[in-house]
Structures are given as structure tokens and as C-alpha cells.
Amino acid sequence: MVQVIDLDVKGLTRAEIIRLAKRTLGVVLRAGGRPIGRLLPADDLDLEDEAWAQEPAQVRRGAAARRRRSSGHGVSHAAVKRRLGIPSRRGSGT
């Protein structure tokens, strides 16, 4: 369950926000009655994944892949699975 935290509430500590973020599916931060951000539980692997995904070279590779795919030159997941000999699950669309 996602927890909503009103940052306008007096007495709310950083430790309480951290505790809530860790024990739920995340928290939505609200100020002035409006959502302003979201915190999700994470570990070191999540941090590494996020850092890798935001590296300029990776962002460029992703943009190039999207351009190829939109121009019809990409390879579908089904085709990759066939090439690698990975069986497709029936009814999954992949």
C-alpha cells in the first residue's frame, strides 16, 4: 500500500519518513495539499541500476534503439527469444 505523507504536518521527522518509505510500497509526498514527489524503497542494486540507466552513453543507446524500432528496424522480443532458443509462454504475447 502506498502511504501519503503530508509534509505540512508539524513534528514529522526525517526518521519517520524513512521508516514509512521502507515498510510500504513507497510514499507520496504532499505539500500544500498537492503531491510533489514519490519515494520508493530501494537497495544498492536499485541505485546501481538507476545510475547505469542515466549514464549519457546508455541514454544515447536507448534513444538510438527507439529510433530504430519506430522506423521498423528493431527486433521484437519474440524474435530475440527464437534466436536464443528461449520458449515463449503461451498467451503472454511475448
The predicted-structure confidence for 32-82, as pLDDT tens digits, reads as follows 999 999 988 888 999 999 999 999 999 999 999 889 888 988 788 888 899
User: Residue 27, exposed/middle/buried by CB under 10 A (0-12, 13-18, 19+)?
Assistant: buried
Q: For the whole model, what pTM was predicted?
A: 0.53
Cβ neighbours of residue 5 closer than 8 Å, sequence gap 6 or more = 12, 17, 20, 27, 28, 29, 30
User: Residue 28, exposed/middle/buried by CB under 10 A (0-12, 13-18, 19+)?
Assistant: middle
